[in-house]
Structure 1
Amino acid sequence: MPIPIDTFFLDPKFEGTLQQKIQRMISEGVLSGRFIPGAKLPSSRKLAVHLGISRITVTLAYSELVSDDYLIAKGRSGYYVSPTAPQRSRFETPKGVVTDCVDWNKAIGQRFSDQVMPEKPMDWRSYPYPFIYGQADDRIFDHSNWRQCALQALGKREFSTVTADSFERDDPELVKYIALNTLPRRGIHAKPEQILITMGAQNALWLCAHVLLNQRRMAAMENPGYPGLRVALNLARCTVASVPVDDCGMVLDALPAETDVVFTTPSHHCPTNVTMPLERRRALLELASRNDFIIVEDDYEFEMSFLNPPEPALKSLDEEGRVIYVGSFSKSLFPGLRLGYVVGSEVFIREARALRAAILRHPPGHLQRTAANFLSLGHYDALVARMGQIYRKRREIMQEAIARCGLESVGINVAGGSSFWIKTPEGVDARDLALALKDRGVLIEPGHVFFERPEDGARFFRIAYSSIESARISAGITLIAETLHSFGKR
């Protein structure tokens, strides 16, 4: 029985090639049961005319569907739905209304959803002025070479490596590149046994918190500081000391004597972007030696030191093995990649690897090998250089607009980064400002989430230039200033 040609149409919402759209249209028809085994499909010529596309596109789609056993080709007769085509399991729909009778307040042993974290709209790209931190700019990223590296990772030579269960082990090529290329640029020398691949910096910080801390230990973090770290420390159930920051980063005199682990972002403090100078880095290491504590260095954005040469990493100055170094590719490649790494002593890495194995075994092999290919072929260094040039220009434009509009920028000792930390006038809550600006197409990030006590950050917000093109920056800053001015008239 032939399938009526009017049944076929291309889904305009599906983001893929014409060939992929045809394959999806037919495979969905087979899986849903609309196209039954033995049913005849229109000829490639007729379907091409009906859809207004080339015949070769339809022919290629049919060929792929044959190789996946959705269709079979019968000589000159045409294409038919395969009698052994894949099918979805079908279950009878329960009759009546299913009622949730569980008392979840009693059933839930621990709560995790009440943590304060930044909120970022999924549709941020639809806003004219998205000053959103940490998102990828499609106009900068090297799509073509990344695609080639992904295809290379799925080639016959590497297929068995990326598809195998590596248990707790990481991709040796990615580890090798990090050890021989990435870390030496930060002055760090490490053996493969001292490197662990993670699902981004957040996963790395969580691993550090749970390996190093318990209910009897104290962790110190910057205030304001990275909210994801505060969540990880809260889940570790340790005592958390919030240490203030100044124009040189964490204030060392405010560190409690009983501190066991210090978490810090010396290259670009989160969220002010201030850079810790060499003198304070040395002082922190001396204090760690004297008071016998561990330092976790979150170097999440070191590639973005385009204003001044980057200061040496704390890990590179460490002579006692006290520093655990956390790096990430999320800011320099794209956040959805979720690949980072931890560098530390072999004893620590062994424990972190065992903990990671209990949660997720290892990051996806295909992503690891694709990243390794992208790095080793030089595409990553070219991308970082291009981003540095573009970010420098955007920063100059934003800095000029901030000064022209009279906004108060906080943090003067800055080596680069991708954002500004702004303080509102007296009486203006940044959360209210963000809501008002959203209605005008401007997205900013209120700063309360970075503070131990959210009320302390009511007058702060962050604006980033990583995800907004240069031509829109000045107009967006002007809208922020105008909206702030209107708050002053209320």
Structure 2
Amino acid sequence: MGPAILRPMALPVETFFLKPDAEGTLQTQIRQLVAEGILAGRFRPGEKLPSSRKLAEHLGVSRITVTLAFTELLADDYIVARGRSGYFVSDNAPEPPHFPAKAAGASTVDWSRAIGQRFTSLDSFSKPADWADYRYPFIYGQADPTLFDSANWRLCALEALGRKDFDALTADYFDSDDPKLLDFIARQTLPRRGILAKPDEILLTLGAQNALWLTAQVLLTQRRTAAIEDPCYPALRGILEQSRCHLHAIPVDGDGLPPANLPHGTDVVFTTPSHQCPTAATMPMSRRHELLERAERDDFLIVEDDYEFEMSFLKPPSPALKSLDKNGRVIYVGSFSKSLFPGLRLGYLVGPAPFIREARALRASVLRHPPGHIQRTVTYFLSRGHYDALVRRMSRAFHDRRTTIDRAVNAHGLTVAGRGSFGGSSLWMRAPDHIDTRDLAARLAKSSVLIEPGHAFFGDPNPPKNFYRLAYSSIPTPRITEGVALLARTLAEMG
């Protein structure tokens, strides 16, 4: 009698189940549950998987779905096919770790002493992660899935994954950027704002906030003085406080930043002339020239954050401050994150070559460069004309929403403290003096209404409590009127 033949253990079909909250296609979920079983050590090399027919019946999916998932696992050598015997866990499949994972014990470090610098209080501004679950999300800066061109973005991303773009996808640019994207920005994007720049005067960044941080790090020291608008973008204030420079907050008026109020000895002025954040005021041309003349006379630099200039559905925006600069004193900050989607995190700096050279070196020491695949995908999305089509679509939608929200706000007698003269995506509102808009926001949230209290925009430790921002970038037009009515009713209930 010959030796007994050891047959591989068959994994019971009951081992496999789809999670109700799993993401991705059914094919992706099946591939993932097999791969996770192997990576966790539950499925071992040589063990036999259920047949595609049995697994399909058990999971309640089509057999072709299981077959396609198995085909992907075969390609990655997680499983192997053995003649007519079926599918087995591959001997070459990734192995689980040979030592158990352990949670760290209680720390004996006194972190109150160990932490040399604190950053937790520098930016108290946040948005709820579940904003899309609210019926009336008057929330700023979030992408509207009904407007974004997902299909063409996906095609551009796939094209950027192609063989001809392998170097752009995989190369370490070190301190450089995708030359195709730099070329498009120089030839197409900047001239629309009246700006001409050479490649060595442009630097790609991880969004506008990263651009502002790089600028502050290069230009400011503990002995230098910066001036910002009040109110202003909260993260900018945090960045400048982190730099430990001397900081002056200059109250804005209906025309934005008043140059006459800048203190003597200012080294750098941060401003949003085309669309002041958050009041939406637009600096008139006379004041822009006054600011540039003051910069030349008093020898300071200007950092221009030119966000939302694309959303000019009421009238064309004024030329960028940078386009009027004859003496190289303006550093320009632009971003694709507002017009595409905030998770993109892709912006750019434009300035004199000596400044860009230092900002580039600093960027390389921290994060090298924005991912090559993102840069090339954006290049294709821009150059194929999809970006301009998206901006036109967004402008039409925002125009309708702006008309609707203006009508609703006026009908309920709400007070607008500032609205963009050429467009934008939000209104700066003022509630009655006794209203704390944080309390207002908490009450409205119970009615599925989201607003943004204005406290974080001000630099004063005791800021005005009755301002708030009402954005219309992410709320469908039919819901605006009802949402504003709920807002007005809640204000009335608060006295």
When normalised by structure 1's length, the TM-score is 0.97
Q: Distance in 2 between matches of 1:455 and 1:475?
A: 33
* Matched residue count: 487
| 1:262 and 2:249 correspond | no
Could you report, residue by residue, the CA deviation over 1:340-393 in whole angstroms, capped at 9, with x for unpaired residues? 000001100000001111111111111111111111111000000100000010
Aligned to 2:16: 8
Which residue is 2:62 aligned to? 54
Identity of aligned residues (%): 60
**Aligned ranges 1:204-215 → 2 under 5 Å:** 204-215=211-222
**Distance in structure 2 (CA, Å) of the matches to 1:341 and 1:94:** 43
The reply on whether 1:444 has 2:444 as its aligned counterpart is no
SS at match of 2:276: coil
The aligned residue for residue 375 of structure 1 is 382
Q: Is the 8 A contact 1:167 1:361 kept in 2?
A: yes
- Determine if the alignment matches structure 1 residue 397 to structure 2 residue 404: yes
Q: 1:438 to 1:412 in 2, by over 3 A?
A: closer
Give the conservation status (yes or no) of the 8 Å contact 1:448–1:454.
no
What is the rounded CA distance, in whole Å, between the counterparts of 1:296 and 1:231 in structure 2? 16
The residue identity in structure 1 corresponding to 2:184 is: Y
Residues 419, 428 of structure 2: 8 Å contact kept: no
The question of whether the paired residues in 1 share the 8 Å contact of 2:160 and 2:377 is answered with yes
1:243 and 1:255 in contact (8 A); partners too? yes
Report the CA distance between 1:235 and its aligned residue: 1.0
Contact kept, 8 Å, 1:449 with 1:457, in 2: the verdict is no
2 CA distance for matches of 1:41 and 1:412? 63
* Matching residue of 1:303: 310
The residue number in structure 1 matching 2:237 is 230
Give unpaired runs (5+ residues) of structure 1.
Answer: none
Letter in 1 for 2:140: Y
| Structure 1 segment 234-313 matched on structure 2, within 5 A | 234-313=241-320
In the aligned structure 2, how far is the partner of 1:88 from the partner of 1:380?
A: 44
Q: What RMSD in Å do the two structures reach over aligned CA positions? A: 1.3
Distance in 2, matches of 1:91 and 1:410, equals 61
Aligned to 1:222, the other structure's residue is in SS state: strand
Q: Normalization by structure 2: what TM-score? A: 0.96
Whole-angstrom distance in 2 between the partners of 1:446 and 1:290: 38
Choose from 23, 26, 49 the match for 1:18: 26
Q: What does residue 125 of structure 2 align with?
A: 118
Structure 1: how far apart are the matches of 2:96 and 2:392?
A: 48
- Where does residue 323 of structure 1 map in the other structure? 330
SS of 1:56 mapped into structure 2:
helix
Q: Distance in 2 between matches of 1:105 and 1:230?
A: 24
Asked whether the equivalents of residues 225 and 271 of structure 1 are also in contact (C-alpha less than 8 Å), the reply is: yes
Alignment match, 2:4? none
Moved more, 444-453 or 109-118: 109-118
Structure 2: gaps of 5 or more residues: 1-8
Mapping 1:339-488, distance limit 5 Å: 339-411=346-418, 414-488=421-495
1:43: which partner in 2? 51
What does the per-residue CA deviation read over 1:460-487, in whole Å, with 9 as the maximum and x for residues that have no partner? 0001001111111111111111111111
Shift of 1:423: 0.4
Distance across 2 between alignment mates of 1:443 and 1:405:
18
1:117 positional shift: 2.5
Counterpart of 2:252 in 1: which secondary structure? strand
C-alpha spacing 1:404/1:159, structure 2 compared with 1 (3 Å): same
Q: Structure 1 residues 284, 64: CA separation in 2 closer, same or farther (over 3 Å shift)? A: same
In the alignment, residue 414 of structure 2 is paired with which amino acid? Answer: L
* Partner SS for 1:246: coil
Per-residue deviation, 1:454: 4.6
Give 2:151's aligned residue.
144
The residue identity in structure 2 corresponding to 1:6 is E
Aligned to 1:170: 177
Secondary structure class of the residue paired with 1:221: strand
1-side partners of 2:402 and 2:158: how far apart?
35
